[in-house]
């Protein structure tokens, strides 16, 4: 659309993308545009036989004000607004295979009508790409000619208005929102996310699937990476062939002639985006070998056992040091200078604690025997954890109460997240630090090159975070067996058993994977508020649904199977895990709601 691109590039128009809520069929969309209300799904039923619209609407207001309105195009308008048009010529759009008759009928009136001066409002409803997308997909050879046709129509109307030198406006609405098949239904990724979530819930009815639940999440995560890789390939390679995204076709960039530096940045960004899903798959495969879990293969030796053997303590020490350095590099980017310093000292304290308890060695250590029990070193780390959490909370409160600075709020959230990462790195065993590293690395790559660049909505992003969190729960070495709970972390930094801290530390260590991914979701959606103002609310509802539905279904299943042979050995331990996970998710959702309400209060 060269003329449209020209108008946008020179700043003659105000272009933006409006997100439509379902149902996205003709009559509900017209109703939403003219009344400002959100249509319901009953409007889908009424779409084929649209009654007259009785609500207050723009067409009725204009007609009552004496404005002369002319309409040509889809006859849904004529049925919705009878006797409101001075002149109209509606054509049925019921036949999906038709992509010429309606548009040609509109265009044949165009030249004659533009020369007239006896009208105030002219409404033209072209089908445009709608039916082409339905019959031959979003990459059909029919798209380019149709876009040029629509561009020519816009040129005629704009030139006519300019030549008359009369005051007026030209609203130009373009269809956007089809999936990869050209329809308005779910995309392949949406189908995968929905089917995977429902399938996992149904699998909880079988004891074998409960025992080997980690295999379900590994399979879903691998499939998700392949689906995301397909989306990345579709975006970059089809754009290269000239099809691009509809948003880029309709709302082109003002930089029509990008520099060579910009081109090289785009090229590196493309290859990093393409490499992210395969890299994630490789990380997941390596993490599966780190800890054998479940029932069938738990007895087999794994990389974790190899690293923890006394013969490989040097290897574990080098790996731990490398992981702690990588954790610092990945986390410190969004922290303040004070928090960066505290994080560095805290991670040094983590290594000192592991050396004190004999897991790793310092270069100058001759043996693993030490006079310290690690209590002082662990408390040293706790001081920096509390300091970082305090700094983040202070910035968060300042952003909510004293000012509405979004950057200050985002930094506060990320600092709270970095404090949580430091705490988890202390609680994790030395051989599990690669799990934390891979978690942070995947989060960074996905946020930078996948979720943001492919414009995934809040629901899709939330489900992906949830799936990753569930998989990392098992990458840690957890299972649905109570025996895999590491109760030793409840004594980190304590000289004797104290119930409350021990329970909190054990829960944080056990559910570190889901908790880190849920907290990252809060931080990510908060930093992306400009793109979707209601993203946090959508993420909260979606996360609550993802947790509550399997938990509710499992409670029903356990009640039904209460006389099952494995009720105490399989189903009951899983119920305890589900209950604790539900409690932690409720806390995260409460934090979600607090962020959403405080944002609304600050804006009002």
Q: Which two tokens stand for residue 472?
A: 């990392």
Average pLDDT over residues 481-510: 91
Q: What is the mean pLDDT of residues 241-245?
A: 44
Give the C-alpha distances (Å, rounded to integers) separating 243 from 143, 250, 455.
9, 12, 17
Domains and CATH numbers, the chain: 2-164 (3.40.720.10), 188-249+261-603 (no CATH)
For residue 131, what pLDDT band results from cuts at 50, 70 and 90? Answer: low
89 forms beta bridges with: 72
DSSP code string of 283-350: HHHHHHHH---SSSSTTS--HHHHHHSGGGHHHHHHHHHHHHHHHHHHHGGGS-HHHHHHHHHHHHHH
Instruction: Outline where 180-259 has alpha helix (H).
Output: 188-203, 207-211, 213-240, 246-250
Residue 365, CA distances (Å) to 338, 344, 345, 368 in order: 31, 22, 20, 7
Helix 188-203 and helix 458-475, axial crossing angle in degrees, nearest 10: 40
H-type alpha helices, 47-122: 58-64, 76-80, 101-115
CA R_g for the chain? 29
Predicted confidence band of residue 265 (pLDDT cuts 50, 70, 90): low
Per-chain mean pLDDT for the chain: 82
Q: Verify cis geometry, omega within 30 degrees of 0, for the bond prior to 190.
A: no
- The HSE-up count of residue 392 (CA atoms within 13 Å, CB side) is 25
The pTM (predicted TM-score) of the whole model is 0.74
Query: pLDDT tens digits, residue range 53-89?
Result: 778 889 889 888 998 999 888 888 888 888 888 888 8
Q: In this predicted structure, which of 198-207, 243-252, 386-395, 414-423 has the lowest mean pLDDT?
A: 243-252
Residue 163's H or E segment, with its range, is helix 143-164
Contact predicate 581/514, CB 8 Å: yes
Q: For 383-442, what is each residue's pLDDT tens digit? A: 999 999 999 888 888 877 766 667 788 888 899 999 999 999 999 999 999 999 999 999
Quick check: 510 and 478 in contact, CB under 8 A? Answer: yes
Paired tokens of 514: 């889901």
User: Residue 71: beta bridge partners?
Assistant: 88, 123
């Amino acid at each position: 659309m060269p003329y449209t691109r020209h108008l946008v590039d020179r700043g003659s128009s105000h272009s933006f993308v409006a997100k439509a809520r379902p149902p996205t069929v003709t009559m509900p969309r017209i109703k939403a545009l003219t009344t400002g209300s959100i249509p319901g799904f009953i409007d889908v039923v009424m779409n084929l036989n649209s009654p007259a619209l009785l609500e207050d609407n723009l067409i009725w207001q204009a007609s009552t004000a004496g404005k002369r309105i002319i309409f040509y195009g889809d006859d849904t308008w004529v049925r919705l607004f009878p006797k409101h048009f001075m002149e109209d010529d509606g054509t049925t759009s019921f036949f999906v295979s038709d992509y010429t008759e309606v548009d040609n009928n509109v265009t044949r009136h165009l030249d004659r009508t533009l020369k007239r001066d006896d009208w105030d409002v002219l409404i033209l409803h072209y089908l445009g790409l709608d039916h082409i997308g339905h019959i031959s997909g979003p990459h059909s050879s029919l798209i380019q000619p149709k876009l040029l046709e629509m561009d020519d129509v816009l040129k005629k109307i704009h030139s006519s208005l300019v030549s008359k030198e009369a005051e007026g406006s030209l609203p130009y609405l373009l269809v956007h929102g089809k999936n990869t098949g050209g329809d308005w239904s779910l995309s392949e990724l949406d189908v995968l996310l929905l089917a995977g979530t429902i399938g996992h819930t149904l699998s909880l009815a079988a004891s074998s699937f409960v025992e080997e639940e980690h295999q379900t999440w590994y399979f879903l995560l691998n499939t998700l990476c392949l689906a995301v890789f397909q989306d990345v390939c579709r975006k970059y390679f089809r754009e290269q062939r000239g099809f691009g995204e509809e948003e880029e076709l309709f709302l082109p960039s003002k930089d029509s002639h990008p520099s060579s530096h910009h081109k090289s940045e785009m090229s590196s960004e493309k290859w990093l985006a393409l490499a992210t899903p395969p890299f994630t798959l490789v990380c997941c495969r390596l993490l599966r070998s780190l800890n054998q879990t479940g029932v069938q293969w738990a007895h087999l030796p794994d990389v974790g056992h190899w690293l923890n053997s006394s013969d490989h303590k040097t290897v574990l020490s080098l790996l731990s040091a490398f992981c702690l350095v990588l954790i610092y590099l990945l986390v410190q980017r969004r922290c303040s200078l004070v928090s960066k310093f505290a994080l560095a000292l805290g991670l040094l304290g983590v290594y000192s604690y592991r050396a004190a308890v004999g897991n790793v060695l310092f270069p100058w250590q001759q043996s693993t025997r030490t006079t310290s029990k690690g209590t002082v070193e662990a408390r040293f780390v706790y001081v920096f954890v509390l300091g970082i959490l305090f700094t983040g909370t202070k910035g968060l409160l300042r952003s909510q109460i004293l000012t509405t600075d979004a950057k200050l709020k985002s930094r506060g959230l990320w600092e709270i997240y970095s404090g949580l990462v430091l705490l988890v790195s202390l609680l994790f065993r030395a051989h599990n630090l690669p799990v934390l590293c891979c978690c942070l690395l995947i989060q960074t790559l996905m946020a930078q090159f996948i979720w943001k660049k492919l414009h995934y909505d809040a629901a899709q992003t939330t489900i992906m975070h949830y799936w990753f969190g569930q998989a990392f729960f098992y990458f840690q070495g957890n299972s649905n067996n109570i025996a895999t709970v590491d109760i030793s972390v409840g004594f980190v930094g304590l000289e004797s058993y104290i119930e409350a801290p021990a329970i909190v530390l054990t829960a944080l260590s056990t559910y570190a994977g889901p908790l880190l991914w849920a907290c990252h979701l809060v931080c990510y959606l908060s930093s992306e508020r400009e793109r979707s103002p209601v993203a946090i609310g959508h993420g909260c509802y979606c996360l609550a649904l993802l947790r509550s539905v399997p938990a509710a279904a499992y409670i029903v299943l356990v009640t039904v199977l209460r006389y099952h042979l494995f009720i105490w050995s399989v189903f009951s331990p899983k119920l305890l895990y589900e209950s604790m996970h539900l409690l932690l998710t409720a806390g995260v959702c409460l934090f979600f709601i607090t962020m959403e309400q405080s944002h609304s209060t600050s804006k009002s």
